[in-house]
Structure 1
Amino acid sequence: MASTEGPYEPTVESLNSHPTPKWFNNDKFGIFLHWGAYSVPAWGPRGSYAEWYWYYMNSPGNETNRYHRATYGEDFSYDRFAEQWKAEKFNAADWVKLFNDAGAKYFVLTSKHHEGVALWDSKVSERDTMAMGPKRDLAKELFSAARADGKLRAGFYYSLMEWYNPLFTGQPATNPYTGQPVPYTGAPQSGDYVKDYMLPQMRELIDGYDPDILWCDGQWDRSAAQWQTAGVIADYYNKALKKGKEVAVANRCKIESGALESHELDFQTPEYSVKPDIDPVKWESSRGIAHSYGYNQNEPVEDYLSSDQLVDSFVDIVSKNGNLLLDVGPKADGTIPDVQRERLLDMGSWLKVNGEAMYGTTYWNRAEEKGGPDDLRYTVKDGVLYATALKWPGEQLTLGADVPVGPGTRITLLGSDSGPLRWQRDEQGRVVVTTPAETGQYAYSFKIETPGVSALPRFGTDLPEFVQAGETFSGKVTVTNPGSKPLRGASLDLTAPEGWTVSPASTRIGNLAGGASADVPVTVTVPAGAEPAALPMRATLRSGRLRAPYPVPVSVALPNLAQGKPATQKSTGYDAPAARAVDGDTNGDFWSGSVSHTAEPANEAWWQVDLGASASLDSVEIWNRTDCCGDRLRDYWVISSDQPIIADGLEEARTAPGVTAVHVQEQAGRPSSTKLPAGTSGRYVRIQLASGTNPLVLAEVRVRGR
């Protein structure tokens, strides 16, 4: 097995041992660039990807198919767009300046999308911008400008697959209207797609341009073994190692599962979605400022995120251990649309004031202040905690009771000259700050620092979230120093609700170097008569002036009657059976086998479990998926009955004799708990979507009762 220092071998185990670069963790904000022949028509239905123009053009009945016929005619082949693409106003230095002004620290250029037109001088193929259209090595110009500037790291997106490459599909590209073959201009006419075309092109990018990031796509189309990327990635890592350079590879470069949320290679790549909470495995969310990645002239200004929404999303992502890869879709001439430029400059203006609370930070014990009066996100840098309010809090800012403050703690507002702010604890123990006059816009970062405190610890635990009365359980509390400076003379105290016993109650940890962790074994006994309630334990870390309280959420709950019981669903899609929702795994990542899934379309889709016998039911907890599409699980019904629920239709199912039905309109969380009416009993419990054609996807369902 290769160590995390290399050298690296072309195996899953070795490549997954590569550490995420420190700079990637620290930089937080990158620019994605989708620019290709699709930038010439620059069109797609609102809410679609304009860079998929060719694919949708080849789909009879699709709106793009109709648009192409009406605008260009049936005989106008897609490759004519590649010839019309001139990039005549492209100025690489101007792009680099804009990215710097936006506060970005890296960019990822789409070197070749699924259309197969390469933006560099490829010796493997003449389907590139040297032989077609611009007649320029666009990648070289941009990379050279970035290297000359010296402030931005530069990376490549590369599509592993091509929609209509005959070497990939085994058949010629065709005219979607006549079915007649059309040229696939410039591409090799013979050879093996992977060995003779794809892998050599990847090596051209790595060897010729020395990218800091390798970001693949199209990984879904074949098994990992067929892509054979492991050797290329191992060489990439090892060459960087010899240069003393840190590089990053996205999980879509597919040495294993290749899912957007898979924990392989250096970071996960969710698309147009954000993690619901902190994920310790590094991730990067990509999205356009509107919906399309490539420029879409059909997207009106109202489809774009406002600058306020953009900043809020960025702050939320960073608080959860993510980066934002924000896409820019240049026009065919090489200019960046005004609305996109304006959003980037607004982002940069905000970061000039608040970047201290974003760059170089890491996540805290929790991302946000749930249930408080202010919408806050937290970040940490060594001994400083930052609380960023997504809206101006008014005259007072209310922080959680676990925010570490003490004698001498200073709280200031970044960008304000008001100096230290007054603070006090309220009757609930929360830290209440008197705010100055509003300064800035979009989001407001408050800096919390205590003299002599050089490191703020992060807590974690593997103790169960739900326990039963009379149960004794064991686990550990983990204390991590996420900063670069040492945490000295630390000790940990544990307290539990009255009547519980916890051992040890106090533990001396000693010194923790930057990045180091210490595990404290814990055993807890819950009294036999404990009533179901959320009664969290509490951990308090002491180090010098630091008093860091941390709630340990362990609640007494009624038994889960559903785990391991027979489950069914209206249909099954993607080999994801109903049983996955009662297997005890709440992970929520489809590709790790955690999620059940009905087939699409699935109008009024349902899932249900047979508890085996009638029981007194208290509540039903539902865990949503985490990798994408969490918004599908909203507007649903929780239905229970002593008799089998047979009907497919929602109205018939929920109104049958003896049925109890509760309507939940908001999006399901992790979990969302639905309280059933007092006196509810049932053997069968169903979750059913209210309407629409979405599939029903569940990570876990727990039915609490006796």
Structure 2
Amino acid sequence: MRRKLLLVPAVGLLVIGSIFATQPVASADTPPVYEPTVESLNSHPVPQWFNDDKFGIFIHWGAYSVPAWGPRGSYAEWYGNYMNAGGSATNAHHKATYGQDFNYDAFLQQWKAEKFDPADWVKLFKDAGAKYFVLTSKHHEGMALWDSKSSGRDSVDLGPGRDLAKELFDAARKDEAKLKAGFYYSLYEWYNPAYTGRPATNPYTGAEIPYTGAPGGGDYVKDYMLPQMRELIDGYDPDIIWCDGQWEKPASYWNTAGVIADYYNKALNSGKEVAVANRCKIQSGNLDSPELDFQTPEYTVKPDIDPVKWESSRGIAHSYGYNQNEPEEDHLTSDQLVDSLVDIVSKNGNLLLDIGPKADGTIPEIQRQRLLDIGAWLKANGEAIYGTTYWNRAEEKGGPDDVRYTAKDATLYATALKWPGEQLTLGADLPVDHSTRITMLGSGARLSWSRDEQGRVVVNTPQEAGKHAYVFKIETPGVRSLLRTSSSLAKEIAPGRTISGELTVTNPGKRHTPATKLSLTVPQGWTATLGAPRVRPLGPGESVKVPISVSAPEGVAPAPYTLGLYQRTGRMGTTTALPLTVNRPNLSLGKPATQKSTGYDAPASRAVDGNTGGDWSAGSTTHTAEPEKQAWWQVDLGASARLDSVDVWNRLDCCADRLKDFWVMASDQPFTTDDLDQARTAPGVTAVHVGEQAGSPSKVKLPEGTRGRYVRIQLASPSNPLSLAEVQVRG
């Protein structure tokens, strides 16, 4: 969520507007509030309901649900693309099952949806504890699930003969649960001639084939894609727009900014809060922060709290669309799914869990049962999920119990992912005093607790009740709200250096809090200063930023260290740990980077921007063209320096196996050749080979005495693309 900052000179603090502030009111007599510009659209607030609801259902359903097949670990909804890839398992499966003259578009007519019962779907989503759903209105195959006026390639003119989107939206809005309803929409289509510039062909014979139902010719974006997006917005009034396929072209090609601005303004006029995923691309290149309302990592979870709202999507097994080739053991268990939901929510995320209905409209029993199990858990423990916010930290690292934290006003929830046994051990920084009451949801009895010799809170547990995860509720009489603190200080400091940043103190609750006193403790020989020793009372959702600086002494040993931030708000005093690692400086941060080529609008600079997240959709990964011969990436440090190591971060969302069998090279002279053997054997080049797959990170130690201005990473494979999340050169 992005807010303007107001300076308050009297106390040297920056004050951030309330997170509970409503959007400005628009009317027909006033100019549009949102303009089709990056700055204007990125100022749109995350809807409060999206922050509160936490759990939604993704639905992938289309003509691909007819063959419903993919190799284990693949996406069955990509059947149409994979069958066109010669030599692929899907290409061979299709030929053996249907014959080489059976074109993909024949599935469009075979898809009947004859058992589709939208009221049953809505009831299942409600029983699962979901608060919203996102229906795939059109996947990359181009088959629309609504009555499109821009194309006849839709579920009314072909196959089912029904407006499937309208039926599901109507059922959701008639139901008393009033689930929020959203659309996934693929910006691109694999084989639409208006997009590709060439006719569709049979992958086995090469013969031209019709692209069934779609209009011929015209401008793909202006005459087809954007009108379809407006049809969905104007005809169905969705609460969420969730795009995909944006990686294929730059934002200037998709030109979605005008549609999104109109969507935001239309919602304001109707008094409605809406959300748009960052895949509805309005900005190209490396982003300083994710665009639009929320980030969309896929089959991956943030390693820690991200204050910018995010939503992780995944299937219950691996495929989004129904894959009859996935056995039961490929599906996550109910316990794993509950644990994932708890973990994601503790880090400021939502879980968008996918189901893949069969072609007839029935939901596979294993998917149905998993949803019902999640719903049963949420019925007993949902107060630790719905309407909560993240706390100072997401989890209990290094302790005996696997715990995740959430907060709601003055209540802290500690959720143990496994039954802890007779005692639950929590951190020393918990906001507790002698009057604190701790209970377990589902038990109700007050539990005794004490502090151990390390100051940690140790809770005596009751008899085990429930399953999957266990929520312990922590309340202290007289405490109005739990303040949340975070620091923008760098995670690392070099010996003899000073780093500066800001400490943010936030009241995430709905009640005012009294003034807060602040102080810092640091290791012996260190110095630290706070811009103000006191934070004034905070209103609901209000934050202040306090300048902070830290200096490490010369000669301090490289190692992890901890600063202690003490805060007293009213009667409650707590100490929060601020970890800081002493390390040699990262010489590559923000320095000019280049690569052999650029694929999917993912430039080389992403690998030196400090973002080690490894998630493609959050703009943290660079990529060369695909395929690419002799793929390399390199950085110019600006001057020759003594180099100790190169830390390489791999992608986390997919494709991690590509970054293996590579060379790390350093030289005082520029690399002038694409040829790996010539580059690594050139005079003055230090080269280190890494055979295994890179991690997050892989620390590549350079030989003693290595110097260099230029550092290159190059794949040994002759024809693979190169993906990098981050490269840090230490020296």
Structure 1 length normalisation: TM-score? 0.87
Q: Indicate the residue corresponding to 1:298 in structure 2.
A: 325
Matched, 1:145 2:171: yes
Q: Indicate the residue corresponding to 2:567 in structure 1.
A: 541
Q: Is the CA contact (8 Å cut-off) linking 2:384 and 2:471 kept in structure 1?
A: yes
Query: SS in structure 1 opposite 2:279?
Result: helix
Matches within 5 A, 1:567-646: 574=599, 581=607, 586=612, 595=621, 617=644, 621-625=647-651, 628-629=653-654, 631-632=656-657
CA offset at residue 291 of structure 1? 1.2
Q: Indicate the residue corresponding to 1:97 in structure 2.
A: 123
Q: Is the CA contact (8 Å cut-off) linking 1:633 and 1:667 kept in structure 2?
A: no
Distance 2:282 2:133 in 1: 23
Q: Indicate the residue corresponding to 2:275 in structure 1.
A: 248
Closer, same or farther in 2 for the Cα pair 1:635/1:129, shift >3 Å? closer
CA offset at residue 595 of structure 1? 4.9
Q: Indicate the residue corresponding to 2:194 in structure 1.
A: 167
Matched, 1:437 2:463: yes
Closer, same or farther in 2 for the Cα pair 1:510/1:407, shift >3 Å? farther
Q: Indicate the residue corresponding to 1:193 in structure 2.
A: 220
Q: Is the CA contact (8 Å cut-off) linking 2:297 and 2:618 kept in structure 1?
A: no
Distance 1:104 1:388 in 2: 19
Matched, 1:478 2:501: no
Q: Indicate the residue corresponding to 1:324 in structure 2.
A: 351
Distance 1:266 1:98 in 2: 27
Q: Indicate the residue corresponding to 2:378 in structure 1.
A: 351
CA offset at residue 162 of structure 1? 1.9
Stretch deviating more after TM superposition (358-367 or 4-13): 4-13
Q: Indicate the residue corresponding to 2:514 in structure 1.
A: 488
Q: Indicate the residue corresponding to 1:554 in structure 2.
A: 580
Matched, 1:407 2:411: no
Closer, same or farther in 2 for the Cα pair 1:661/1:435, shift >3 Å? farther
Query: SS in structure 2 opposite 1:554?
Result: strand
Distance 1:520 1:187 in 2: 57
Which of 299, 303, 308 is the aligned partner of 1:281? 308
Matched, 1:668 2:696: yes
Query: SS in structure 1 opposite 2:252?
Result: helix
Q: Is the CA contact (8 Å cut-off) linking 2:449 and 2:457 kept in structure 1?
A: yes
Closer, same or farther in 2 for the Cα pair 1:637/1:395, shift >3 Å? farther
Distance 1:222 1:663 in 2: 33
Which of 97, 110, 128 is the aligned partner of 2:136? 110
Q: Indicate the residue corresponding to 2:412 in structure 1.
A: 385
Matches within 5 A, 1:27-426: 27-151=53-177, 152-257=179-284, 263-417=290-444, 419-426=445-452
Which of 508, 522, 527 is the aligned partner of 2:548? 522
Number of equivalent positions:
692
Distance 2:149 2:241 in 1: 20
Distance 1:398 1:61 in 2: 54
Stretch deviating more after TM superposition (497-506 or 403-412): 497-506
CA offset at residue 195 of structure 1? 2.2
Amino acid at match of 1:336: I
Identity of aligned residues (%): 66
Closer, same or farther in 2 for the Cα pair 1:694/1:319, shift >3 Å? farther
RMSD value over aligned CA atoms? 3.7
Distance 2:593 2:718 in 1: 23
1:148-200 per-position Cα deviation (integer Å, ceiling 9, x unaligned): 10321111111222222222223332222222222222222343322222222
CA offset at residue 664 of structure 1? 8.2
Distance 1:615 1:190 in 2: 59
Which has the higher relative contact order, 1 or 2, with Cα contacts under 8 A spaced 6 or more apart? 2
Q: Is the CA contact (8 Å cut-off) linking 1:560 and 1:704 kept in structure 2?
A: yes
Q: Is the CA contact (8 Å cut-off) linking 1:499 and 1:526 kept in structure 2?
A: yes
Distance 2:371 2:97 in 1: 32
Q: Is the CA contact (8 Å cut-off) linking 1:251 and 1:258 kept in structure 2?
A: no
CA offset at residue 673 of structure 1? 6.2
CA offset at residue 692 of structure 1? 12
Q: Is the CA contact (8 Å cut-off) linking 1:494 and 1:506 kept in structure 2?
A: no
Distance 1:109 1:402 in 2: 42
Amino acid at match of 1:199: L
Closer, same or farther in 2 for the Cα pair 1:259/1:67, shift >3 Å? farther
1:64-86 per-position Cα deviation (integer Å, ceiling 9, x unaligned): 22222221122222222121211
Q: Is the CA contact (8 Å cut-off) linking 2:388 and 2:408 kept in structure 1?
A: yes
Q: Is the CA contact (8 Å cut-off) linking 2:532 and 2:546 kept in structure 1?
A: no
Distance 1:113 1:130 in 2: 16
Query: SS in structure 1 opposite 2:433?
Result: coil
1:512-534 per-position Cα deviation (integer Å, ceiling 9, x unaligned): 11111112223444344544343
Stretch deviating more after TM superposition (258-267 or 425-434): 258-267
Stretch deviating more after TM superposition (423-432 or 660-669): 660-669
Matched, 1:448 2:474: yes
Structure 2 residue ranges without an equivalent (≥5): 5-21, 27-32
Closer, same or farther in 2 for the Cα pair 1:472/1:599, shift >3 Å? same
1:676-705 per-position Cα deviation (integer Å, ceiling 9, x unaligned): 79x955447998999999766444444556
Distance 1:568 1:250 in 2: 29
1:255-285 per-position Cα deviation (integer Å, ceiling 9, x unaligned): 2239999611111111111112211111111
Closer, same or farther in 2 for the Cα pair 1:284/1:497, shift >3 Å? same
Q: Is the CA contact (8 Å cut-off) linking 1:26 and 1:360 kept in structure 2?
A: yes
Amino acid at match of 1:543: T
Q: Is the CA contact (8 Å cut-off) linking 2:649 and 2:695 kept in structure 1?
A: no
Distance 1:100 1:346 in 2: 12
Q: Is the CA contact (8 Å cut-off) linking 2:650 and 2:694 kept in structure 1?
A: no
Closer, same or farther in 2 for the Cα pair 1:349/1:579, shift >3 Å? closer
Distance 1:642 1:260 in 2: 30
Q: Indicate the residue corresponding to 2:9 in structure 1.
A: none
Query: SS in structure 2 opposite 1:200?
Result: helix
Closer, same or farther in 2 for the Cα pair 1:198/1:478, shift >3 Å? same
CA offset at residue 103 of structure 1? 0.6
CA offset at residue 597 of structure 1? 5.1
Q: Is the CA contact (8 Å cut-off) linking 1:533 and 1:556 kept in structure 2?
A: yes
Amino acid at match of 1:518: V
Q: Is the CA contact (8 Å cut-off) linking 2:346 and 2:391 kept in structure 1?
A: yes
CA offset at residue 32 of structure 1? 0.8
1:339-360 per-position Cα deviation (integer Å, ceiling 9, x unaligned): 1111111111111112111111
Q: Indicate the residue corresponding to 1:501 in structure 2.
A: 527
Closer, same or farther in 2 for the Cα pair 1:142/1:474, shift >3 Å? closer
Distance 1:633 1:398 in 2: 41
1:347-377 per-position Cα deviation (integer Å, ceiling 9, x unaligned): 1111111211111111112212222111121
Matched, 1:461 2:487: yes
Q: Indicate the residue corresponding to 2:8 in structure 1.
A: none
Q: Indicate the residue corresponding to 2:453 in structure 1.
A: 427
CA offset at residue 30 of structure 1? 0.6
Q: Is the CA contact (8 Å cut-off) linking 1:107 and 1:154 kept in structure 2?
A: yes
Q: Is the CA contact (8 Å cut-off) linking 2:659 and 2:723 kept in structure 1?
A: no
Q: Indicate the residue corresponding to 2:37 in structure 1.
A: 11
Distance 1:209 1:697 in 2: 39
CA offset at residue 28 of structure 1? 0.7
Structure 2 length normalisation: TM-score? 0.85
Q: Is the CA contact (8 Å cut-off) linking 2:604 and 2:623 kept in structure 1?
A: yes
